[in-house]
Amino acid sequence: MSDSSLSQRSSLESLRSQSPVPSIQSEPDTLPPAVTGRMVWEGNELAPDEYVVELQKAEVENIRAAVISFKLLGLSRSAISKETFLLEPGLASKLSSFSSEIHDGRGVVVVRGLDGARLNDEESVIAFAGLASHVCPQRATDSYANQTLSHIRDATHDVVPIWAKDLGLAGSKLPSAMEFHSDRFSGDVLALYVRCDGSDAGGGEQFVSSFCRIYNELLQVAPDVLETMADGNWPFELKDPHRKTPYLDLGPAIFFAAGRPICQLVKAPLLGSPKIPRSPIMPSLSLEQAHALQVVEDLARRFCTKLDRRNGDIQFINNLSIMHARSAYGGKFAQGRSPRHLLRMFLRDPRNAWTKPPSYLHKFDEPFEMGREQNLPVLDTDPWRKISGRESHG
């Protein structure tokens, strides 16, 4: 898609459309100026040596020792924290420093080398949560699914119990491709632990794209697309454990606070997904919204880079400034499931957390509500219900 097909209207002439949910910071009369700094990048400007950090042998041994020490405490996995997952001061400080790069730098950090720790399934969950707690100490929990840690895998070959025969699988349980998105109101930072990259089965590559770069481009060539994204009339289809049918939640796909654009554009609750079709009672997208989705997808692909990935990697991705996507996988395993398996959590670091628009602050904060039970399952035994979540991630 060429820029010639986009609107050429100047951003100085572009005024925000009216929104049903007024907010000074999230819905300005004019679009904020272009973003500057290291978070603005194109694919060829983000080489692996900029975001991959190799763990030293002694650091891997320290993590394994911390896993064993935590197991000896006899605590539940929900108790994993910086205080219970003890690391040497140097490693703890190193992990903590990654937060600045995630929030104010490139927005992507990959910690490599954990495969050398020889961890079993339970130990991998403990290590993932423990290491992540030193980077971003707060973990999000989806209030619909009561899930803190989820398993991204191919569940299409699982035996479906009778009670789940009418329930579809979320995108994270399918080997199909996912277009660029950021997970809506799920957490500030997306963390993924690559237990098996599935490379033997083919596909499943991951891609990231700087939304700040996309924003700057649209500000120049198509500010009307940004206006459409900032309008509060996007028809998101959400779920509630106390309702038999989904409900409509109107809101914007992009927010503004402290001069920064915050992307929260996820397509599943807008368009449905391969196994969870959109409810017929939900309104369709407008022509402007459908156009905006396509323009953003085209630019995300244009500016993206493929993540350098290996087994044992822990990926930290800014979920407010980075859009992510993946290719389909498992093509070589037509008669069986792909071994591709990632663990996922959403995190927040209060030290570096971005300012959020006041009118929507409760939605950004809700997953981090204090006192909520945290579920960090070692095995994925309920792919039909729990992983879907209120917002149907992806």
Closest CA to 311 of 118, 35, 181, 70: 118
CB of 106 closer than 8 Å to CB of 354: no
pLDDT for residue 161 is more than 90 = no
Dihedral, CA of residue 27, residue 32, residue 38 and residue 43, to nearest 10: 80
Q: How far apart are CA 338 and CA 326, in angstroms?
A: 15
Write out pLDDT tens, residues 227-244. Answer: 999 999 999 998 876 777
Q: Which are the contacts of 190, defined by CB distance < 8 A and separation ≥ 6?
A: 183, 315, 316, 317, 318, 319, 324, 344, 346, 347
Query: What is the residue whose two structure tokens read 């859009």?
Result: 323
Residue 98: is its pLDDT beyond 90? Answer: yes
Q: Domains of the chain: which residue ranges?
A: 3-368
Q: What pLDDT score was predicted for residue 246?
A: 86
SS3 2: coil
* Interval 341-357: pLDDT, tens: 999 999 999 999 999 99
Reported as a pLDDT band with limits 50, 70 and 90, residue 6 is very low
| Mean pLDDT of the 86-111 span | 98
According to DSSP, the residues that pair with 235 across neighbouring strands are: 250
The C-alpha atoms of residue 86 and residue 164 are separated, in whole angstroms, by: 41
pLDDT band at 338 (very low <50, low <70, confident <90, very high): confident
Q: Is 157 strand, coil or helix?
A: coil
Residue 308: Cβ within 10 Å count: 15
Q: Judge whether 197 and 315 are in contact, CB under 8 Å.
A: no
Tokens standing for residue 83:
């205080």
3-368, which class in CATH?
A: alpha beta
Q: Is 19 exposed, middle or buried (0-12, 13-18, 19+ CB in 10 A)?
A: middle
Among the listed ranges 20-24, 276-280, 370-374, which one has the minimum average pLDDT value? Answer: 20-24
- Inter-residue contact 229 to 223 (CB < 8 Å): no
Q: Using 50, 70 and 90 to split pLDDT, how confident is the model at 385?
A: low
> What's CA 77's distance to the chain center, in Å?
22
Judge whether 267 and 258 are in contact, CB under 8 Å. no
pLDDT value at residue 381: 78
% of the chain at pLDDT higher than 70: 88
As a whole number of angstroms, the distance between CA 313 and CA 298 comes to 28
Question: For residues 300 and 214, is the Cβ–Cβ distance under 8 A?
Answer: yes
Q: How confident is the model at residue 200 (pLDDT cuts 50, 70, 90)?
A: confident
112 has pLDDT over 90: yes
Q: pLDDT digits over 129-157, tens only?
A: 999 999 999 999 987 777 899 999 998 88
